[in-house]
Structure 1
Amino acid sequence: MNLATPGRPRDGFDRGLLAPMLLGAILNPVNSSIIAVSLIPIGRAFGAPPSDTAWLVSALYLATAVGQPVAGRLIDLHGPRRAYLVATALTGIAGVVGALAPNLGVLIAARVLLGFGTCAGYPAAMSLIRSEAKRTGRDSPAGVLTVLAVATQTIAVIGPPLGGVLIGLGGWRTTLALNIPLAAAGILLGLLRLPKPPPARVGARRLLGGLDLPGMALFTATLLSLLLFLMDPRTGRLYLPALAAVAAAGFVVRELRASDPFIDVRVLGGNLPLITTYTRAVLAYVVSYSVLYGYTQWLQEGRDLSPTHAGLLQLPMFATGIVVSAVTGRHEAVRGKLLVGAAAQIAGCALLLGSGSGSPIWLLAATTLLFGVPQGLTSLALQNSVYRQAPPEHIGSSAGLLRTSGYLGAILASSAAAGFFPERADTPGLHHLAWFMLAICVLFLAVTVADRSLRHVGRPSPGD
């Protein structure tokens, strides 16, 4: 993909790309984190229990889990500019719909639209990093990848306390309206700074003709059926995983026969390290989002804190994540980061098991601080793993699949929180959630220890 543009530096990364890259990439994290302190106020406004408001979390991730690899494939084929601009515009529309939502159903629909709108930013950023490395001949993305990781964690730091402040000033609707100015800024930066694709890429016929629409439809059916079951697993809904299995089989057959497949299953099937990275991402994000959603709800109902104070107690986690990412970011080796992150997650679960309605504030802050260590180490390690393990020509869709894996983990976490907090986020429910998280942490550690390929990811070859 040739993105050469007059006026761009020849030898170094074009820093003019950073602003639209980072703004696009943070749209999803800000909406993920800010909703954590909004769930209880929204539930009270509409008379809905946590099991119902959990759909506000799941709806966004369901839409984004489907949309991420689709957006990534469009970016692989046609460059990042058009997908970025269209998706960012959808984000602004979702902000308007959400801010005016008259009931929970419309608000959930707005979160679905928001999920589709925020799905292009991250694969667009990864595509731009790869294309800049190719253009400059310098395959040294560690610094830029670190900036990307730190930026998403920084906005996650700001999200909960900002949400608490906005709720205090204008109610929960302001947390949705925030997307309107963010989207406007993203569109402006995208128009001004994102490189235009070559003329051969422009045109509706070529845009539609390059897509594997049957493959995308089967992939969507597989993921949608599976995630709908995971959000409400009951015996009466066992038809959903069966439908997912049938759609998955059809997807594999289609992709093996397609001349230009949506996801090259031959390459993916032969890339066990990349598949293992996606599995590890699901496990890691189950734990981190259980803290973000389950623990935050318990702080408000089980510990009787205000949304503002519950949001402020998330600061130690995200602030620690930023510091850890910044300190370790230029060291691309990932195995040690994953092992230390797993140990910190296990220790954090132990603190959750000892928490109760009378726990002092310092203990609550220490708990979130401890979970900040894996927040900083694991997300960066997973991002670097995909960058090194994915084929360069599929970096957009591969990055999208990484986010899809993370969203699957988020949906599992949301479903777990809804299951353990059916009516109220009380302390027994928190302890049950902590035991569930601990089991996931142990599995994450086992998968990491058994993965020998990690010894070579990010390390220089003997000839370098």
Structure 2
Amino acid sequence: MTEARTGPAAGALRPGFDRRLLPPMLLGSVLNPINSTIVAVALVPIGRALGAPASQTAWLVSALYLATALGQPVVGRLIDIFGPRRLFLVSTGLVGVAGVVGALAPGLGVLIGARVLLGFGTCAGYPAAMALVRGEAERTGRDSPGGVLTALAVANQTIAVVGPLLGGLLIAVGGWRATFALNVPLSVAAVLLGLLRLPKGGPAGGSPRHGSPSSRLDLPGMGLFAAMLVSLLLFLMNLHLRDWYLLALSAAAGAAFALRELRAATPFIDLRVLGGNTPLLATYGRALVAYVVAYSFLYGFTQWTEEGFGLTPFHAGLAQMPMFLLAIGVSIVSGRSTSVRGKLLLGAAGQIAACLVILTLTGDSPLWTLLLVALVFGIPQGLNNLALQNSVYFQADPERTASSAGLLRTFSYIGSMVATSATAAAFGQHADTGGLHRLAWVMLGAGVLYLLLTLFDRTLGRTTGAGRGERAAG
């Protein structure tokens, strides 16, 4: 991606990354995680207020990730073609609309709809940030933006710290509706920063090599991708044999999508390039299983601390603090190196260790054991996110940086869907200790798979097939 820059400032800024871009990049990228973490402490109060059990309030989590998993690669592709500015402004504006709808929602159905709007509204932030990083790398001739990528990771970790605690405070002061109203000022700030800081224009998509931007849109491919993904995620939300038709529909749409993309002149997802990029595919697979563990902990463990252990939403948010604080420190320290293999292995070990400790917890466990679990989880939380993000940046085709980043989030959200489905199945009507232990076994299995995917991945450190002549992170 190459942004059009005009005026004397362009030459003056050429030696290094344009740090005026950081505020909108960081704010846009954290809109999704802040809504993810805040709702973790709001699920129980919402369920009590609306008379909905945990199996139904789980849709508040699934709805956001369903919309975001679909929207991220689509919006990412649009950013690759048209540039980040317009997509960023439209999407972040939608976040404010979703905040108003959620704050005024009369029932669970409308609230779920607001979460869908939030999912689509937060789609552009992360792909736009990655596209801007790539554009700045091309402009400056420096393709090692480790500090900027680390800043993105640390910002997300910081929001993860603030999210549960802020959610608890908002609920204590203004009730659970305040957690939705928060999106209104965040949206206004993001739109204003985007208008003031993001460069106008878009990629040089009108070149003879690529054709006009509109000709590069693969609307049929996007439609088939949507049908495949939505059917799959709806099946994963509520795993049951009676819904086999959703899996069949997903497979049929997937086959049609593959045929379309292999024949399209400018495919939405270039399956030939992606299929030959084994390092990137391995990264996507690791992201899926890593987020099964991470989101099972975020939502399942948090619900148990409130219902099974008896903490208030505010104190449940405080119990998460050790994890996120340690994750920030780990991200800052480990961000100095672009190597990922050691980070992935240590992250896998941390996940497995934390799951084993969870299996020992009961409603009578001392509070320090809960804090210990959160602290242990801080290690993989800080390592995995940064390692996966760095991997995609170096492994992806430069011309598809935003859509590749969006696909990373899609695989992450598929993992989150599996996590929320597992959480709902494990807890049922009440988040008790037995349900927590059942969930911990699922998490442990995913953690072991993550470790095996890393141990036996011979592509780590191998030259990528993206055509840049660089080495993959590893």
Q: Secondary structure of the residue that 1:453 maps to in structure 2?
A: coil
CA deviation after TM superposition for structure 1 residue 330, in Å: 1.5
CA distance in 1, matches of 2:383, 2:171: 31
2:34 corresponds to 1:30:
yes
TM-superposed deviation, 1:210: 3.3
Range 2-11 or range 314-323, more displaced: 2-11
Aligned with residue 93 of structure 1, among 97, 114, 118: 97
String of CA shifts for 1:283-316, please: whole Å, max 9, x gaps: 0001011110000000000001100000110111
Is 1:126 matched up with 2:130?
yes
Normalising by structure 1, we get a TM-score of 0.97
2:68 aligned counterpart, secondary structure: helix
The 1:294–1:259 alpha-carbon spacing in structure 2 relative to 1, beyond 3 Å, is same
Give the whole-Å Cα distance in 1 for the aligned partners of 2:421 and 2:79: 31
1:189–1:349 distance in 2 versus 1, CA, 3 Å:
same
The code of the aligned residue for 1:87 comes to S
- Alpha-carbon displacement from aligned partner over 1:47-83 (angstroms, at most 9, x marks no partner): 0000000000000000000000001000000100000
Tell me: CA distance 1:280–1:246, structure 2 relative to 1, closer, same or farther (3 Å).
Answer: same
Question: Aligned residue for 2:4?
Answer: 3
2:432 matched to which residue of 1? 426
SS in 2 for 1:455: coil
Mapped to 1, the partners of 2:226 and 2:186 lie a distance apart of 28
How far apart, CA to CA, are the structure 2 residues paired with 1:259 and 1:291? 43
Written as runs of structure 1 = structure 2, the 5 A alignment for 1:35-46 is 35-46=39-50
1:330 corresponds to which residue? 336
Q: Deviations over 1:162-183 (max 9, x none)?
A: 0000000000000000000000
Among residues 168, 179, 195, which one is paired with 1:164 in the alignment?
168
Partner of 1:277: 283
CA distance in 1, matches of 2:417, 2:408: 14
Aligned twin of 2:467: none
Q: Where do 5+ consecutive residues of structure 2 fail to align? A: 207-211, 465-469
In the TM superposition, what are the counterparts of 1:163-182 in structure 2 within 5 Å?
163-182=167-186
Offset of 1:5 from its aligned partner? 3.5
Conservation of the 8 A alpha-carbon contact between 1:334 and 1:457: no
Q: TM-score, normalised by structure 2?
A: 0.95
CA spacing shift, 1:457–1:160, aligned 2, 3 Å = farther
Match of 2:405 in 1: 399
Q: Pairwise CA RMSD of aligned residues?
A: 1.6
Runs (5+) with no aligned partner, structure 1: none
AA of the residue aligned to 1:401: L
Q: How many residues align?
A: 458
Asked whether 1:262 is paired with 2:298, we answer no
SS of match in other structure, 2:184 = helix
Could you tell me how far apart the structure 1 residues matched to 2:203 and 2:309 are? Answer: 59
| CA shift digits 1:15-52 (9 cap, x unpaired) | 00000000000000000000000000000011000000
What is the percent sequence identity of the aligned residues? 64
Amino acid at match of 1:195: P
Specify the alignment match of 1:49 in structure 2. 53
Contact 2:103 2:181 (C-alpha < 8 Å) held by counterparts: yes
Deviations 1:178-223 (A, max 9, x none): 0000000000000001000159879xxx665431110000000000
CA distance in 1, matches of 2:72, 2:227: 15
Q: Offset of 1:2 from its aligned partner? A: 3.5
